[in-house]
């Protein structure tokens, strides 16, 4: 099933990288993989991710699942169906950004970067509102969050979401417009490359600043968007 899944997903790597990487990391249960689509369950994030060629197979696959708390669909026609037939309260439309180079140079003479721990929970929660307590605890347990320090003062952080995408990037207001986001992103890209991972991020379509940052970092941006529901 893995080969069938990757054969389908690799037809559009930019759009489907968020499904490809969990399969390669072995954190995915492949539920369906054929010439017309793929459906997986990603165990770390407890999410379902689906990419299909046509509505009929997508509907059939989603209707076969009884309990979905977190869902990513990779086609607009499936997003419309989910909006009409499921009771999710939140929807995020995102472009996929993928770093396809093999290396990145890091120019960092000013910032110290450390793994954040549970003692940093309060400051993380103060500056970043999009993580549940359970998600934050899992990320800290798995050492997925990195903090940037200037003169021993925490000025921002970045990390990997549970399913593997880059994100959770926050530079505290008084330290913005100094290039620190670029440094943190570069460091995380390098770290992922060293682990044999493909760096990728999912950027809300309205977040122009983030799109421009990722272009500056030489990410490829998908033309199509994907949709998270939760």
What local confidence, expressed as pLDDT, does residue 188 receive?
Answer: 97
Domain 112-197, CATH number (from 3.40.228.10, 3.30.70.100, 3.40.630.30, 3.30.1360.70)? 3.40.630.30
CA-closest candidate to residue 5, choices 26, 17, 23:
23
CA pair distance 26, 108, nearest whole angstrom:
33
Beta bridge partners of 214: none
Average pLDDT over residues 86-90: 96
The one-character DSSP state at 106 is: -
Pairing of strands 145-150, 153-160: antiparallel
pLDDT(105) > 90:
no
28-71 pLDDT, tens per residue?
A: 999 999 999 999 999 999 999 999 999 999 999 999 999 999 99
pTM of the model: 0.94
Check residue 54 and give its pLDDT.
97
Assign 104 a pLDDT band (cuts: 50, 70, 90): confident
* Exposure on the CB side of residue 50, measured as CA atoms within 13 A: 31
- Beta-bridged to residue 71, according to DSSP, are 48, 229
Average pLDDT, the chain: 96
pLDDT confidence bin for 174, thresholds 50/70/90: very high
Q: How confident is the model at residue 228 (pLDDT cuts 50, 70, 90)?
A: very high
The full set of domain ranges for the chain reads: 2-98, 112-197
- What is the pLDDT at residue 93? 98
Q: What percent of the chain has pLDDT over 70?
A: 100
């Amino acid at each position: 099933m893995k080969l069938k899944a990757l054969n389908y997903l690799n037809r559009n790597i930019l759009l489907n990288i968020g499904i490809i990487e969990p399969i390669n990391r072995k954190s995915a249960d492949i539920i369906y993989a054929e010439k017309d689509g793929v459906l997986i369950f990603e165990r770390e994030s407890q999410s379902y991710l689906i990419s299909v060629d046509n509505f009929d197979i997508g509907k059939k696959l989603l209707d076969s699942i009884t309990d979905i708390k977190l869902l990513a669909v990779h086609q607009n026609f499936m997003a419309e169906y989910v909006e009409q037939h499921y009771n999710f309260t939140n929807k995020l439309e995102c472009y996929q950004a993928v770093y396809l180079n093999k290396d990145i140079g890091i120019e960092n003479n000013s910032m110290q970067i450390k793994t954040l721990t549970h003692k940093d929970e309060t400051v993380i929660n103060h500056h970043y509102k999009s993580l549940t307590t359970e998600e934050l605890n899992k990320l800290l347990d798995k050492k997925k969050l990195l903090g940037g320090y200037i003169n021993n003062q925490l000025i921002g952080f970045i990390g990997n979401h549970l399913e593997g995408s880059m994100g959770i990037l926050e530079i505290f207001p008084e330290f913005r417009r100094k290039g620190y986001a670029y440094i943190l992103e570069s460091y995380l890209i390098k770290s992922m490359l060293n682990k044999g991972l493909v760096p990728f991020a999912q950027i809300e379509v309205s977040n122009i600043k983030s799109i421009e940052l990722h272009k500056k970092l030489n990410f490829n941006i998908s033309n199509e968007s994907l949709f998270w529901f939760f």
